[in-house]
Structure 1
Amino acid sequence: MVGYTIRRIIQSIIVLLGVLVIMFILQSLLPNPARAIVGVHASPAVVHAFIVQNYLNKPFYFQLWHYLYEVIWQHTLGTSYKLNESVGSILKRDAPKSFLLVGVALLISIVVAIPIGIFQAVRRNKASDQAVTGLSFVLYAMPTFFLGELLILLFSEYFHLLPAEAPQGSTVGQILAQPTGLILPIATLALVNFAGYSRFMRSSAIESLAQDFIRTARAKGLSERVVLFKHMLRNSLIPIVTLIGLTLPAVLTAGLITEFLFNFPGIGSDYITALTSQDYPTALGITLIVAVFTVLGNLLADIAYAALDPRVRY
């Protein structure tokens, strides 16, 4: 298990370095942002000073080496063109808030989806199963922004129960001080994720219930609760663990959309602002964070898969 984990970690580091280089190459193909950053009426001297300050007049290999140095050794991820501060400090300030939003939504969706999926498998093709299946299909088909808009219209505009805007604050503590404002953005992410996880859990549980070891456990006279949660659950969780690892970046990117929709002060808002203002270093830094979570999700899925099924280690 240790050797397998070390190999996967080394592979993940190599993949991240490759992704970092490819993203920087793609960024270098974009138009020079100097005029957009300093303003259309700025003098040529001001534009030239901006270009020199950000090494945009240097050869590509120099720019790449300088960026790798900032990312790997200085951990600054470059300097924001608009805010004139390191991208690392921006992420340090806003990323915890985004991780809070996405993490809580992901946890809720998993905790709810697993027992619901088992319930559907046990009640396969019954009215309750079909009702939950229909709801899951509806939620799964909805884009994140559309579901968020529906929740705002229903709970904020029509019933006036919850605020349409997420809590505003520069720290996690300030965000948590306004818990009612977190309900709608968290519900938006949790409902979309729940739909997919519950469907996969149902399919996996149905497949496990048809296996010989389940029939053997029941033949021994074990209670249905022991059969479901001791014998069936572990085998059913294998594809779910893989799914969670693979969908982690999708959950994070959905969180970016949700943040913009609810005006949540996280990296989603930073990302939209960076794209619209051609602040390439900030956009690249946030994209790198998404790439890290993509690789990390796959790594954790592989490790958890190996823990659940020892055959994977070989």
Structure 2
Amino acid sequence: MSTPTYLIRRVLQAAAVILIVTIVVFALLHALPGGPARGILGPQATAQQIAAFDHEQGLDKPLPVQYLYYLGQLAHGDLGTSYTLNEPVSQLITERLPKTLLLTVLSAVVGLLLAVPLGMWQAVRRNKPVDYVITTLSFIAYSTPVYFLGLILVLVFSQALPWFPSQAPQGHTLGEVLAYPQGLVLPVAAGAASMVAVFSRYMRAATLENLSEDYVRTARAGGSRSRAILWRHVFRNSLTPVVAMLGYYVPVLFGGALVVEQLFNYPGMGLLFWTAAQSSDYPVLLGCVLIIAVATVTGTLLADIVQRIIDPRVKAGRS
């Protein structure tokens, strides 16, 4: 299958998944106790007030008609209104999402910059003491809850060694957040730790697999240096499964951001979601779920495309 045809097929699949996500979110919205009207008007609202609200908002129409209206609202960026903040959910997410993306991207970049060379080093030093030590530390980091790891970082690097602040930078804009970079160190470290543990293992396994391939033995027989073989050939081929897994790791990054933002009081979408969960602010919760789902689908799509570019031998049927 040609690359353009493959890309068109993957984009159509992603669009279908996003459409299914909108159906699920729409169903959850109508499954709320008392319906959307009760959530907006409050528990003291009378039956007449609820009926009037439903009629005004079109909630008394058949569900397929309501769903089409809901899609129209989504197309115009209308995710509803927050019960507690009395602000459009789209506006709240627009303010918070860039800061969450900043945190997750920095965590991913730091995690990959550490995991890739670490995994390759482990593969080269296979079954040596350093390999066992790094493997043990990776398992510990992977099995440690993000919240507990964040607390350890605060106790060590903010309390015992006052190198970094325990609270993330505050502000309404990315500029205000970036103006206090030392406040990002601990949140980024907490978010990157599990990624280093997971992707160093993937990189180690992929490197070991490529080191046993015929092209490596041929290059060695031709007199190529081990370092040149490792970085010119093995490195690129080993990145393919790592890139493929990166897209699937997007929901993990967002899930970790929720905990990290709450722990370090970082003003991103994760903290918004946490606050909304405490106050049962359903429009905010469902808006965040929808955005995370779209980000997950987009991340998976981009990972497949990048994997196809890195290794054209990957067939669409096996992606």
TM-score normalised to structure 2 length:
0.91
Per-residue deviation, 1:238: 1.2
Distance 2:311 2:178 in 1: 39
Give 1:86's aligned amino acid.
P
Q: 1:37 to 1:272 in 2, by over 3 A?
A: farther
Aligned pair 1:103/2:111, yes or no?
no
Q: 1:213 to 1:90 in 2, by over 3 A?
A: same
Give 1:26's aligned amino acid.
L
Q: 1:221 to 1:95 in 2, by over 3 A?
A: same
Aligned pair 1:206/2:208, yes or no?
yes
Hey, what does 1:136 align to over in structure 2? 138
Q: SS of the residue aligned with 2:198?
A: helix
**Are 1:77 and 1:281, in contact at CA under 8 Å, matched by a contact in 2?**
yes
Hey, what does 1:76 align to over in structure 2? 78
CA deviation map 1:69-127 (0-9, x unaligned) = 1112x122222232233222111111000100110010110111111111110011111
Aligned pair 1:262/2:292, yes or no?
no
TM-score normalised to structure 1 length:
0.92
Q: 1:152 to 1:48 in 2, by over 3 A?
A: farther
**Are 2:39 and 2:83, in contact at CA under 8 Å, matched by a contact in 1?**
no
**Are 1:249 and 1:297, in contact at CA under 8 Å, matched by a contact in 2?**
no
Q: 1:295 aligns with which of 274, 278, 297?
A: 297
Q: SS of the residue aligned with 2:314?
A: helix
Aligned pair 1:113/2:115, yes or no?
yes
Hey, what does 2:64 align to over in structure 1? 61
CA deviation map 1:13-59 (0-9, x unaligned) = 11101111122112311213655655556677776666566555554
Per-residue deviation, 1:182: 0.8
Distance 2:45 2:16 in 1: 42
Hey, what does 2:177 align to over in structure 1? 175
Hey, what does 1:235 align to over in structure 2? 237
Structure 1 segment 149-168 matched on structure 2, within 5 A: 149-168=151-170
Distance 2:86 2:314 in 1: 48
Q: 2:222 aligns with which of 220, 223, 226?
A: 220
Distance 1:35 1:293 in 2: 30
Q: 1:5 to 1:162 in 2, by over 3 A?
A: same
Distance 2:16 2:40 in 1: 34
Hey, what does 2:282 align to over in structure 1? 280
Distance 1:47 1:10 in 2: 39
**Are 2:262 and 2:270, in contact at CA under 8 Å, matched by a contact in 1?**
yes
Q: 1:56 to 1:31 in 2, by over 3 A?
A: farther
**Are 1:253 and 1:290, in contact at CA under 8 Å, matched by a contact in 2?**
no
Q: 1:37 to 1:243 in 2, by over 3 A?
A: same
CA deviation map 1:212-236 (0-9, x unaligned) = 1101111111112210011111211
**Are 2:164 and 2:183, in contact at CA under 8 Å, matched by a contact in 1?**
yes
Q: Report % sequence identity.
A: 43
**Are 2:79 and 2:88, in contact at CA under 8 Å, matched by a contact in 1?**
yes
Q: SS of the residue aligned with 1:83?
A: coil
**Are 2:138 and 2:198, in contact at CA under 8 Å, matched by a contact in 1?**
yes
Q: 1:284 to 1:214 in 2, by over 3 A?
A: same
RMSD: 2.0
